[in-house]
Structure 1
Amino acid sequence: MKKNKITLLAMALFCAIGVSACSDGEDGKDGAPGEPGVPGTPGTPGAPAGSTVDTVATAADFKLTLQPADIVVVGADDFSIKFTATGKNSKGDDVPFTGLEKVALYVTNQVANTTSSGAPMLWSNNALANEFGSSMYCTPTGKAAARGGAEVDACTLVEDAENPGTYTGTWEHDGNAPVVVADGDPNSMFRVMIRTYDVTDATGVSISDKLLSTPLDFIPATGEMAVSAKDSVSSAACIQCHSELMGYDDGDKRIANIGAHHNYQKVENCIACHNPAYAADQNDPEKGFNPNFNAMIHTIHAGGHLAEWGVLKGDAEEFAGVHFPAELNECTTCHDNGNQWKENVYREACVGCHVTVNFETGEGHSDFQLPQADDSQCMNCHIGNLSPDAVHKVGARAIATDSMEISVSSVSYTENASPTADEIVVTFDVTVDGAPIADGFDFTDYTKYDVMLLGWVDTDGTYHGNATKTMNLNGVPAVGGKLVVTLQKDGLDFDGKSIAITPRFSVCADAKGMLAKCADADIEYVGVTMAPAYWNLANADGSGATPVRQSNPASITADEAKCSTCHGSLTVAKHYGNERFDQCVGCHNNTWGGSYHVAVEYKSDEVDADGKPIFKTLEGVTFSNRDLVTVAHRFHTGLWDDNRGFPGIHLDSDLEVVGYPALATDCQACHKDGAKFFAADGGLTSGKRAIAVDAAGTQFITPVAESCRSCHYSASALAHFESNGATVHGKPDTTADLPVESCATCHAEGKTYGVDKVHAGGAH
């Protein structure tokens, strides 16, 4: 106990001494503060917020810029490249993009063809010519992981610390970079493009579209910009069917929807790989097609036809689902950029479509079975009457369509003692190349369809198709350039009503677009020029007639011209020869229900005994109307059947759409730019408020939901429509006076979930 007390006392004394040692006086207060230290050197001010970015919201927000003076890819000098990268900040301004970790460089050049086969000028990929690959990576380390994971040499990518967003690339390995051709011609045209990897949006999600520079075409010897004479197809031509990737400058049009490699955006990009270095024999049993761009594109777009003819083989069988929406012979649908396609004829391009021709034996090469060892003789024959545009009858359909005109000059209505014997007499004026057809001329041998349809129109422009009468022109001889048709009323009530006369009429033509007998014709289903005629039977001169709403531009949101950019002509479907929406209403209207395509079918993975795909019914999804809007939507989304042969657009076994070339959400592919789908009352702009679903026209559903169901066909979608006031398929009403659905509340243009936002098309 004593020892313990001594220890505690010692500890207390030690603490007291320690505390007193920290004071400057006996009072125990803190000492005075010391002198301030010398201020440190100020740090470098940081860049203002938003002055650079390292993420972008879309591919179009990212831009790479190259200049010829900053590129060395030919000759003995060491490889080098400099470029700038920008992205849009939160204000929408283009600012330097920092932190690129990986890019790929593609370099091609045009070389003269010294052989007697192929195009006069050829694309050569510099890296492929050096047996390296199709492109060269650039990374900060000078190494990169290639496909398959193997490490390869890369150019060294350095960002300029003083100029963020400016990058240089050099080759730090043995020899020169593989994209340099030492013996290349600096006076030829070179094309350089850069692909960027691993760029994300602000949430860390990778940008889905490829980030590509605009291909730079230039002459290295002079630094001048150049224009390739080989680009006979523009990206704008492809966009006609494949949609435009929105957000880019008007002079930088890019393709939104090409499935292969998703998605090299411009025709100029494709030749970096699809050039003679990868070329193969079109008849190669394993590959089945020539991957050189000229031949491959022909084979792809003819794929559906070639499959039907049983001549696709090997890897080319994947093209069987491609059904070119225009006519294959209309070369200028794609070839819109010069005359190279018809002035440089060579076998490689031709057999891309004409795959059964054997130039070694001559089999299939004209009626004379002419063998061709090389291409030196092609242009001796394929000029004049045998030039590509002549033998393919390019433009002949348009000439034939424009050459024949039919119009209604008068309608008379006679009441007889018996109401069923009342007569309507219609007089048609017919001209060919501006001259009246000869007396006694009979269309019988010249037509594919010869029907004129007569229905009536109510005061709001609704066409009543369940009361349609048909008039046949075949067998009616011409007198004074006119055809006169008399039909009985047969109890139909046309008294005092506006009637509409619409054509379902098409003829045949020869290779020059001249009217021809169908037995000898080169072109069938030529739709004649004829505007629907409207006649008010209450007035002798027909005045005061109400046209159908499809003849009123303000009521139509779709654009016939846009349909024709992809289809070339609306008669390409060989559907009676109609060229205008208001010609289609005789059958495709909202008052005549029923459908020839009730079921929805999909292409299963099974085939029949002949190896053809078996289509199976998609249970629980049917349609029962022929309204033009829903029919057009259904067909283009693949909700169709195979009762008229293999449908070019269809559902596969995973219920994915196959064959539609545009983006499914690109409404502007068919609709007018800036079209408003909803009227002020929430209904459709057209004024259509009901669709008949039975042939008698006594049962109706609402149109907005039925239009949407053409894509959104699930049971849950149908329930959503119904819960928002729609009268839906399977539960029709007996009146056409239906309440307007509430769809516009959420989905009208400008709303949070407006169609203009959720269906933004190519704006990725």
Structure 2
Amino acid sequence: MMKNHNMSLLALMLSGMLAVTACGDGSDGADGAPGAPGANGADGADGQNGLNAGDVVSTVYKAGDVTFTIDPAENTLAGGDALALKFSVTSKNQAGEDKPLTGLDMIAVYSITAMTNTTDDGPAVFWENNAETAAGAHSMYCTLDGTYSSRGQTGEACTLVEDPANPGTYTGTWTYTDTTAPIMNAADDLNAPHRVMIRAYNVTDADGNSVSDKILGSLDYIPATGETGVTTGKDTVADAACKQCHGESATSGNIANISAHGNYQSVENCVFCHNPATQPDEEQAAEGYVFDLPAMIHRIHGGAHLAELAQYGFIQAEEWSEIGYPAPLNECTVCHSEEEGKTTWNDEPTRAACTGCHTNINFATGAGHASFALAQADDSQCASCHSAGGLAPINAHRVGERKELASLVQIDFTGASVAAGTLTVTADVTVNGALSSDLSVLGVAATLMGNVNDDGSVSRWGSRPALTAGTFTETGKLVLTRAVTAEEGSGTIYVGTEATFCVGTDNQAATCDETADLAYGNPVEVVHGSSVFSTAIGVTADTKFFDLDTAAADDEGMPARFAGTDQITVSVAKCEACHNNLDVTKGAGHGVYKFTQCMDCHNNDYAGSYHPNAVFKNADGVAESKGVTPFANRDLVTVVHRYHSGNFDVIEGVHTDADGSVVGFPGVQGDCTACHNGTPLFAADGGLTSGKRSIAVTGGYISPVAESCRSCHNSDSALAHFKSNGATTADAPDSTADLPVESCSTCHGEGKTYGYDKVHVKF
């Protein structure tokens, strides 16, 4: 800049010298006679007069900034008439203002119709892709020269023209007289709801990089009337349901972390291709593939569960066979709406939708379809059995039933007191809706007890009486006792349960017995060396907090931070949004599904770990050690971070591949908002908001912030970074719990340049 500035001064000086010379050549300096008029300048380009550079944009910051506007009155995009395409498109500039997006050179146009089904095969209304029906294609391209080249194919396209008088406004015409525009279907029903989608290609950001996510815009309308915003009758799953697990894209605002086809971002977009017309060939079908969206999503989410049932005749595509669906597979309303008008998933069963999961059924022969082997040539009889009553999907799948049945067995702790070194705990026991002294229905019958420290953390007791070790003073009035030390028997204690029961076919609580007739079956699995029923339900019991320093046995004590205080930074609701209920993770084996139950084992005061190592799946599909320092703690933060990032000692479910990519976690890696509730993670002193200042491990204590970060960032260089910032790490634990606060928050606290709220964001 300085060099240019000096050159400008030099030019001015030379100009001045020339002027002095002209005045000093003997003339009087008078003005010369006017010259002849010059020729008129060339006309400016049409429509560009007065157009400032800031009036339009030609680059895009992110896909969600782009908005398409399609007016049905200016378009003919359905039926057998000549194509007439007109739309406008805007994007946000650097100031966040919407401006016309100029310079598009290629788009694709899709058209589908919500057709009324006149056959006995399929749902009452189905999506028909008009280009597929009319021309055997999924869409139609529009380019500047009327031809396209895409994915190794070339062909005819509509001609795309930007209006020079109205930048950002485009028209498309079909100039080939011997063919019809592909999306124009002469057999189309113009009175039915239609959806049109436009995809823009070759759009870059200001640095010339291709914009991540596809740039899409769509319109729902009825061609015959021009009415927009119509209900299609097919949108029974909202994007919001998908976002519960997959997250929301920060670049488009739509569904994140769906890698197929680069992510078309919305259920409303997927159906343009994934509809009944798109069927697998014979080989693909035999491998377990299906492409119509309802059946395909069922099959994909069936994942590993369907693969594990191969011995019973189920099939699953290899590509989907390792997916671990995080919610109960039978809970249809995790995805489907129960709103009025959106219940076709329950009211209109079809063979295709059902065999998305029930892949062992052969409707041609009837094999696998009930004990009667009921063959079905079409869908005309499906509703006879499955649209209402016990065999309707919502009832046959027992949707929501497990949550309701959990209340069949309830333990309500009513008091706790200490006398002469003995703790006495009282509780009301309810079984099948009435006070009961019969605990024979319990499979696991353990209790959870320990102290609550001044900072809200907990210290579990090594031994606790089982529920079945108590006595009843009267019907339903349980008394438990335990000898306590002076330290244990003072201050606040917590009392809860780790208990399970099973359910009989009469929907009443029943003993977990392999020979019993149980509503959910009798499968047994081994959890930490003990055999448990995988269909057992956790007993309903709130963890209670009692102050033992008062005379009153029912005096409430200080709740642990896990009880939803301002010390806890995660949200149970966010966990359940994806898992449906935390019972799905630990309910059957342990009977626990609340943070106040998890805290008994997963706290910063209880050392050791059942899963100390981190492995990855190598190229041969075998677990191989990552060679990192073992995790010798059970702290809930560490365990949850580790599992969701694939740094566990198993390769089933969530794991990492040889290239370091995370497989099995449905959300966006690094999106803290998926679980955290927005409470700042760091306190004023640089420690954690929870008040946790150390974590007990085998051999001593370590820093909690560094160990939380190491759950994901476990390279040698990361470990060295933690140490250089004052952390006490797992490879060299300290003998005392009184550790200094490491300086992590200096750089990584909220609002800092490298704050976790800036570097850990959704994409």
Q: TM over 0.5: same fold? A: yes
1:758 matched to 2:759? The reply is: yes
Could you tell me how far 1:432 is from its partner in structure 2?
Answer: 4.5
C-alpha spacing 1:633/1:492, structure 2 compared with 1 (3 Å): farther
2:137 equivalent to 1:133: yes
Q: Separation in 2 of the partners of 1:566 and 1:728?
A: 32
Task: Decide whether aligned partners of structure 1 residues 33 and 366 sit closer, same or farther in structure 2, where only a CA change above 3 A counts.
Answer: same
Residue 700 of structure 1: how far off its partner (Å)? 0.8
Q: Partner of 1:6 in structure 2?
A: none
Does residue 618 of the first structure (1) align with residue 633 of the second (2)?
Answer: no
Q: CA deviation at 1:650?
A: 1.0
2:172 pairs with 1:169: yes
Confirm or deny: 8 A CA contact 2:315 2:359 kept in the other structure: no
Question: Considering only CA atoms, is the larger Rg found in Structure 1 or Structure 2?
Answer: 1
**Cα offset for 1:544?**
6.3
Q: How many residues align structurally?
A: 707
Task: Quote the Cα distance in structure 2 between the aligned partners of 1:681 and 1:650.
Answer: 35
**Is the contact made by 1:396 and 1:511 (CA closer than 8 Å) also made in structure 2?**
no
CA contact (8 A) 1:600 1:622 kept: yes
- 1:699-744: per-residue Cα shift (whole Å, max 9, x none)? 1111111111111111111111111111112111111111111111
593, 596, 607: which is aligned to 1:579?
Answer: 593
| Cα offsets for 1:124-177 (capped at 9, x unmatched) | 1111112342111111111111211x3211111111111111111111113320
| Residue of 539, 542, 546 corresponding to 2:550 | 539
| Paired residues of 2:449 and 2:496 also in contact (CA < 8 A) | yes
Question: What is the alpha-carbon distance in structure 2 between the residues aligned to residue 510 and residue 379 of structure 1?
Answer: 28
Task: Evaluate the alpha carbon distance shift between residue 232 and residue 477 of structure 1 in structure 2; reply closer, same or farther with a 3 A threshold.
Answer: farther
Provide the C-alpha distance between the structure 2 equivalents of 1:84 and 1:402, rounded to a whole number of angstroms.
Answer: 56
Of 651, 660, 670, which residue of structure 1 is paired with 2:656?
A: 651
Q: What is the identity percentage for the equivalent residue pairs of Structure 1 and Structure 2?
A: 45
5+ residue gaps, structure 2: 1-21, 521-534
1:553 counterpart SS class: coil
Q: Secondary structure of 1:115's match?
A: coil
Residue 38 (structure 1) aligns with: 37
Residue in 1 that maps onto 2:562: 550
Partner of 1:345: 349
CA distance in 1, matches of 2:26, 2:76: 81
Q: Deviations over 1:165-206 (max 9, x none)?
A: 111111111332000111211001111011111111111111
> Aligned partners of 2:351, 2:361: CA distance in 1, in Å?
10
| 1:550 alignment partner, SS class | helix
Please state if 1:462 is matched with 2:460. Answer: no
Runs of 4+ in 1 over 6 A off after TM superposition: 26-32, 311-315
Q: Distance in 2 between matches of 1:324 and 1:146?
A: 35
What SS does structure 2 have at the residue aligned with 1:277? coil
1:101 matched to which residue of 2?
Answer: 105
SS at match of 2:310: coil
Distance (whole Å) between structure 2 residues aligned to residue 345 and residue 286 of structure 1: 23
Distance 1:27 1:515, change over 3 A: closer
The one of 214, 219, 231 equivalent to 1:216 is 219
Matched, 1:364 2:358: no
Is 1:64 the counterpart of 2:68 in the alignment?
Answer: yes
CA deviation vs aligned residue, 1:92-120 (integer Å, no higher than 9, x gap): 10111100111111111122223222112
- Residue 519 of structure 2 aligns to which amino acid in structure 1? D
Do the aligned partners of 1:158 and 1:169 also contact (CA within 8 Å) in 2? Answer: yes
Report the counterpart of residue 537 of structure 2 in structure 1.
526
Q: Match for residue 594 of structure 1?
A: 608
SS in 2 for 1:531: coil
Correspondence for 1:291: 291
The match for 2:270 is 270
Q: What's the counterpart of residue 12 of structure 1?
A: none
Contact 1:399 1:513 in 2 (8 A): no
Does structure 2 conserve the Cα–Cα contact (< 8 Å) formed by 1:393 and 1:511?
Answer: no
- Find the residue that maps to 1:209 and give its secondary structure: coil
- 1:666-685 to 2 correspondences below 5 Å: 666-672=671-677, 674-685=678-689
Q: Following superposition of structure 1 onto structure 2, how do residues 36-435 of structure 1 map, counting pairs within 5 Å?
A: 36-38=35-37, 40=40, 45-148=49-152, 150-174=153-177, 175-213=179-217, 215-225=218-228, 226-246=230-250, 254-280=254-280, 284=284, 287-310=287-310, 316-336=317-337, 338-382=342-386, 383-415=388-420, 422-432=421-431, 435=433
Residue 643 of structure 2 corresponds to 635
Bigger drift between 676-685 and 560-569 goes to 676-685
Shift of the 571–28 alpha-carbon distance from structure 1 to 2, 3 Å rule, reads closer
Structure 1 position 247, deviation (Å):
6.2
Distance, in Å, in 2 between the alignment partners of 1:45 and 1:139 is 26
Task: Specify whether residues 34 and 687 from structure 1 end up closer, same or farther in structure 2 by C-alpha distance, changes over 3 A only.
Answer: same
Deviation sequence 1:312-357 (CA, Å, 0-9, x none): 9999211012111000110111112521111101111111101011
Which residue is equivalent to 2:14? none
Structure 2 equivalent of residue 19 of structure 1: none
Asked if structure 1 preserves the Cα contact closer than 8 Å seen for 2:703 and 2:741, the reply is: yes
How far apart are residue 447 of structure 1 and its match?
2.8
1:435-474 equivalence runs, <5 A: 435-438=433-436, 440-442=437-439, 444=440, 446-465=441-460, 467-474=461-468
Give the AA of the match of 2:167. P
Matched residue SS, 1:348: helix
Work out the CA distance in 2 between the residues paired with 1:596 and 1:161.
68
Aligned-CA RMSD value: 2.5
> Partners of 1:325 and 1:299 in 2: how far apart?
14
Report the residue type matching 1:631 in the other structure.
V
Deviation at 1:298, TM superposition (A): 0.7
Would the alpha carbon gap of residues 458 and 29 (structure 1) be closer, same or farther in structure 2, given more than 3 Å must change? closer
Please give the alpha-carbon distance, in whole angstroms, between the structure 1 residues aligned to 2:750 and 2:507: 44
- The answer on whether the counterparts of 2:417 and 2:425 sit within 8 Å (CA) in structure 1 is yes
Q: 1:516 aligns with which of 507, 510, 514?
A: 510
After TM superposition, the score normalised by the length of structure 1 is 0.88
Within the alignment, does 1:739 sit opposite 2:740 as a pair? Answer: yes
Task: Pick which of 524-533 and 730-739 moved more.
Answer: 524-533
Superposed CA offset, 1:362-409 (max 9, x none)? 211112222222211111111211111111111111112345432211
Contact 2:629–2:731 (8 Å) recurs in 1? no
Q: Do the aligned residues in 1 keep the contact of 2:304 with 2:324 (CA within 8 Å)?
A: yes
1:321–1:658 Cα contact (<8 Å) kept:
no
3-state SS of the aligned residue for 1:508?
Answer: strand
Measure the CA separation in 2 of the matches of 1:131 and 1:180: 9
In the alignment, the residues of structure 2 paired with residue 588 and residue 681 of structure 1 have an alpha-carbon distance, to the nearest angstrom, of: 24
> Cα–Cα, structure 1 residues 281 and 423, in superposed 2: closer, same or farther, change >3 Å?
farther
1:482 to 471, 477, 482: 477
Moved more, 346-355 or 574-583: 574-583
Deviates more, 1:190-199 or 1:58-67: 58-67
Counterpart-to-counterpart distance in 1, 2:382 and 2:54: 60
- Please report the TM-score for the alignment, with normalisation by the length of structure 2: 0.88
Partner letter of residue 664 of structure 1? Q
Letter in 2 for 1:441: D
Deviation at 1:460, TM superposition (A): 1.3
SS at match of 2:236: coil
Amino acid at match of 1:516: A
Do the aligned partners of 2:458 and 2:560 also contact (CA within 8 Å) in 1? Answer: yes
SS of the equivalent of 2:261 reads coil
| Cα distance in 2 for residues equivalent to 1:565 and 1:655 | 27
Q: Is the 2:315–2:360 Cα contact (8 Å) retained in structure 1?
A: no
AA aligned to 1:737 is D
Distance 2:305 2:383 in 1: 27
Inter-partner Cα distance in structure 2 for 1:80 and 1:600: 59
Could you tell which deviates more after superposition, 556-565 or 166-175? 166-175
